[in-house]
């Protein structure tokens, strides 16, 4: 443990752990939506009392089958299982069938590694850093799942909400009072915006997952930061959306997930909320 007292050793350890957890998250982002879809299909079949079709459905969860190429099913070797390095060593292609590996895998591992280092830098070698990194990991998984599938699974948003309330019992990131009001008002405010928007335009601009994610944000950072958080998420979403339309990468009416922007603003508020709020108020008052 003497070695860990050295800041450099601590950072190396945290970067390594971040990369390993990032590798787990990239697997989660791929597998969780498939697991959920299978379970919904089974529920539908049970409801309509239809027999299970005879197509083979092997065990598929977060642990099994072992990591493999989704194209040719070849199992990954030890080198390819190393986060970040595996992708670079393979130059982004399967060793066996040369099918391209989505850059998402590398991106998730990289972002998670950076989040681990920033948690240590911002909160020090303290429980707050582990909690902030736990929230970061959850937000990274939600961002990529929503981006890929337009889905914010309850199995991630709801535990994030409960955890936010629990960690704030001692007032770690916000007072418990601000956290409870934040959770309730976060959900309610987006619910109201959603229904007002639907009444006015007949379109659905968000999903219920967004309300739960915003409620989780309120539970972690307290209600005071929610208006600024929503402003940042909307601005970022509008800038990216308009850029994609301008570049003709996306149609005007194509669905665009809001979760990634909410998650990004949530992360900023958790890590740098108070300096951000101070800057915002300073600018707003023109002083």
Among 69, 111, 160, 217, binds Zn ion (CB under 5 A): 69
Residues 6+ apart with CB under 8 A from 62: 27, 28, 31, 32, 35
Residues 65 and 58: beta-carbon distance below 8 Å: yes
Contact window for Zn ion (CB under 5 A) among 93-101, 106-114, 206-214, 263-271: 93-101
Please report whether residue 217 would count as binding Zn ion according to CB under 5 A: no
In whole angstroms, the minimum distance from the beta carbon of 99 to Zn ion comes to 5
Q: How many residues are present in the chain? A: 287
Please report whether residue 72 would count as binding Zn ion according to CB under 5 A: yes
Q: Which is nearer to Zn ion, 99 or 238 (CB)?
A: 99
Pair of tokens at residue 175: 């007072």
Contact window for Zn ion (CB under 5 A) among 92-100, 115-123, 138-146, 255-263: 92-100
Q: Which is nearer to Zn ion, 94 or 221 (CB)?
A: 94
Please report whether residue 85 would count as binding Zn ion according to CB under 5 A: no
Pair of tokens at residue 256: 């665009």
Among 4, 34, 79, 97, binds Zn ion (CB under 5 A): 97
Q: Decide: helix, strand or coil at residue 51.
A: coil
Give dist(CA 236, CA 249) in Å, integer.
17
Range 39-68, binding Zn ion (CB under 5 A): none
Supply the DSSP symbol for 247.
Answer: T
Give dist(CA 47, CA 281) in Å, integer.
53
Torsion of Cα atoms, 229 then 232 then 233 then 238, to 10°: 160
Q: Which is nearer to Zn ion, 50 or 91 (CB)?
A: 91
Total of residues contacting Zn ion (CB under 5 A): 7
Among 45, 71, 81, 243, binds Zn ion (CB under 5 A): 71
In whole angstroms, the minimum distance from the beta carbon of 68 to Zn ion comes to 8
Residues 139 and 114: beta-carbon distance below 8 Å: no
Contact positions vs Zn ion (CB under 5 A): 69, 71-72, 94, 96-97, 99
């Amino acid at each position: 443990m003497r070695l860990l007292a050295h800041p450099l050793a601590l950072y190396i350890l945290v970067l390594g752990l971040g990369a390993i957890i990032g590798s787990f998250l990239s697997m989660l982002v791929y597998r969780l939506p498939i697991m959920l879809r299978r379970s919904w299909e089974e529920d539908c079949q049970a409801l309509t009392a239809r027999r299970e079709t005879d197509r083979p459905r092997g065990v598929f969860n977060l642990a099994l089958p072992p990591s493999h190429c989704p194209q040719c099913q070849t199992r990954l070797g030890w080198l390819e299982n190393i986060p970040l390095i595996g992708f670079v060593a393979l130059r982004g292609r399967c060793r066996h069938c040369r099918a391209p590996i989505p850059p998402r895998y590398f991106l998730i591992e990289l972002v998670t590694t950076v989040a681990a280092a920033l948690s240590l830098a911002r909160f020090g070698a303290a429980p707050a850093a582990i909690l902030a990194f736990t929230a970061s990991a959850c937000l990274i998984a939600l961002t990529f799942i929503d981006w890929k599938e337009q889905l914010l699974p309850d199995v991630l948003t709801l535990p994030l909400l409960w955890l936010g309330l629990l960690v704030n019992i001692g007032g770690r990131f916000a007072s418990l009072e601000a956290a409870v009001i934040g959770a309730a008002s976060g959900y309610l405010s987006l619910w109201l915006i959603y229904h007002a928007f639907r009444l006015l335009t007949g379109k659905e601009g968000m999903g219920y997952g967004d309300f739960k994610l915003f409620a989780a944000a309120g539970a972690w950072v307290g209600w005071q930061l929610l208006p600024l958080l929503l402003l940042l998420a909307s601005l970022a979403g509008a800038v990216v959306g308009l850029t994609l339309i301008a570049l003709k990468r996306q149609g005007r009416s194509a669905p665009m997930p809001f979760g990634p922007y909410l998650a990004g603003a949530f992360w900023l508020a958790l890590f740098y909320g108070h300096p951000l709020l101070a800057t915002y108020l300073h600018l707003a008052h023109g002083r």
